[in-house]
Amino acid sequence: MPRKSGRRTRKAGSTRKSRGSTSRRKKWSLDMDTVVPEVARRVIERLGLDYAGVSVEDIRDLIEEIVQAIAENRATKPSIDSLVRNIVRNGPALKKAVAAILAQREDLTGEQIDFIIASAPEVAGRVAPRLYTIARKKGMDHVVDALRTLWVTYGRPTPFTCPRCGFRALTPDLTCMVCGASVDEYEFKESIGFEDLLEEMARERPSDALQAAEAGFVLYDGNQLLPPSARVPGKPYMELYLTGREREILRRAATRAVRG
């Protein structure tokens, strides 16, 4: 008999547990069509996103995802105030997400460009070519300066600086990935002080200078000139061809260096 009573006790306990679990199940739902626009409106006000021209429609999908995630972890129905507080608490992360949304636009205001750079510098660095084009049209020189730095950190910089826009974005074929310019070799040589670099090469490495003069071209790695034999596989170089005058500069400087 006692054993039979024990089985009943366990069964009764199991029933109570099941009832308790049922009582904790979510029995509410949110009217997302009403809640999301209102939450978005308040978040824009609280975070000052209206300064960047952010509208409810701009962030509606983003806010809806966040509201759904918050609601799924709540046993009780959250109020609009509590939803706004939760979102605003993570303001920097939200601003970064909003900046990424704005960065996809073809046209931006000056305030929006400033917002993207301040809130999501890594995003600004990646889309620097588009932001540069817009900023130049608007005469935002301070933005162009900031984008040059962000491009080096987060973009796809090359070792070669474009003489037109000043970004490290010139490819070995003399095309700029940021401003789109096609630079001729003479212009590029002028921008790096080519003749001074020739003199430096001949003075410090006469044998390299003579080799380059004989080959008729030098390699430029973004810092110095090198002879063709110094090429390292996989490393980008600019091949710069020598005029008769430039070959003579190398030969004379190298001779002076050898004689001391």
Question: What pLDDT digit, counting tens, does each position of 168-178 carry?
Answer: 999 999 999 99
Q: Cα 258 to the chain's mean position, in Å?
A: 49
Q: How confident is the model at residue 65 (pLDDT cuts 50, 70, 90)?
A: very high
Q: How far apart are CA 240 and CA 218, in angstroms?
A: 5
Sheet strands (E) in 43-110: none
Q: What value does the mean pLDDT of the chain take?
A: 89
Coil, strand or helix: which one is 226? Answer: strand
- Please answer whether residues 235 and 209 qualify as being in contact, where contact means their C-beta atoms are separated by less than 8 angstroms: no
DSSP3 helix / strand / coil % (the chain, rounded to 5): 65, 5, 30
Residue 231, amino acid: R
Longest Cα pair distance anywhere in the chain, in angstroms?
A: 117
Q: What pTM was estimated for this model as a whole? A: 0.80
Q: Report CA-CA distances (Å) from 257 to 145, 146, 194, 205, 248.
A: 40, 42, 19, 9, 14
* The pLDDT value given to residue 16: 43
Q: How confident is the model at residue 7 (pLDDT cuts 50, 70, 90)?
A: very low
82: nearest Cα among 38, 31, 119, 50:
38
C-alpha atoms less than 13 angstroms from C-alpha of 8 in its C-beta half-sphere: 5
98-107: list long-range contacts, CB under 8 Å, 24+ apart: 98/49, 98/52, 98/54, 98/58, 98/59, 98/62, 99/123, 99/124, 101/58, 101/59, 101/62, 102/52, 102/54, 102/58, 103/127, 103/130, 103/131, 106/130, 107/134
- Burial code (b: 16+ CB inside 10 Å, e: under 16) for 119-158 equals bbbebbbbbbbbbbebbeeeebeebbebbbebbeebbebb
**DSSP sequence for 193-218:** THHHHHHHHHHH-HHHHHHHHHHTEE
Q: How confident is the model at residue 256 (pLDDT cuts 50, 70, 90)?
A: confident
**How many residues are listed for the chain in this entry?**
260
Specify the DSSP class assigned to residue 239: E
For residue 119, pLDDT over 70 is answered with yes
Kindly state the tokens that stand for 48: 């000052």
Sheet strands (E) in 24-150: none
* The pLDDT value given to residue 248: 93
* The pLDDT value given to residue 197: 96
Mean pLDDT of 84-106: 94
* The pLDDT value given to residue 21: 42
Burial of 88: CB neighbours in 10 Å, binned 0-12, 13-18, 19+: middle
For residue 12, pLDDT over 50 is answered with no
